[in-house]
A and B are shown apart, each in its own frame.
Chain A
């Protein structure tokens, strides 16, 4: 099946620093990737839709200058949380759409803790 990886799986950082999370589709090319945020025992909240070679589309209420998304290739999208604050602590999950199956496959997630 289609595999999506995320790195790192867990990161702890100090308030004010920036953190980059990578999302890779390992065995397929993804023209579209998505970034979600999940709070404990809650559903996934879509943050942005990322299309290869173009600017990401952010959902209402998501600060594009704080959550920088880059989709530079068909297999890689990155999310950078800039000037992180404790309220940014969350579980971030990416997904990639496989064109052949028209299905989103999800990465294992990244647990971000901002001290």
Chain B
């Protein structure tokens, strides 16, 4: 069965510092991995995805994520955090099959202080 783990409920970082939001996954076969961001009382916004190819994926708003097959991880990173990055971040995985649903981690709240 597929699963996603986000080990941190909350990540706190000062503005201008680099940030990392952790994600590990479990899936049979090759994974499709995604990161989404959710602002209060809003839906999810797509940030980036990994399907195949380069392990370092660049996405929206300066975010990037690195796929590490040996560690089954897909951590989200940004070199310099902004206060406006404060939100709830979800990692998600699905099987390598079109039309299958995403399975989400529990989410990590990112708080960036000025």
Contacts and interface: CB of A to CB of B under 8 A. Distances in A.
A29 to B, nearest CB: 14
B90 to A, nearest CB: 7
Contacts of B44: 44, 93, 95, 106
A46 B93 CA distance: 13
A97 B99 contact: yes
Given A44-B90, A107-B43, A111-B41, A32 B99 contact: yes
Given A109-B42, A111-B41, A51 B106 contact: no
A104 interface: yes
Contacts of A99: 98
A49 B106 contact: no
B104 A108 contact: no
Q: How large is the interface on B (under 10, 10 to 19, 20 to 34, 35 or more residues)?
A: 20 to 34
Residue of B44, B90, B98, B107 with highest tally of chain A CB at under 10 A:
B44
Contact of A43 (B41, B99, B104): B104
A48 B98 CA distance: 16
A103 B101 contact: no
Contacts of A49: 99-101
Nearest to A97: B99
B104 A31 contact: no
B107 A46 contact: no
Nearest to A93: B43
Nearest to A46: B101
B34 A103 contact: yes
B105 interface: yes
Nearest to A45: B104
B11 interface: no
Given A51-B99, A97-B99, A102-B98, A43 B105 contact: yes
Given A6-B43, A111-B41, A104 B106 contact: no
3 tightest Cβ-Cβ pairs between the two chains A and B? A106-B44, A106-B43, A108-B43
Interface of B: 32, 34, 36, 41-46, 49, 51, 90, 98-107
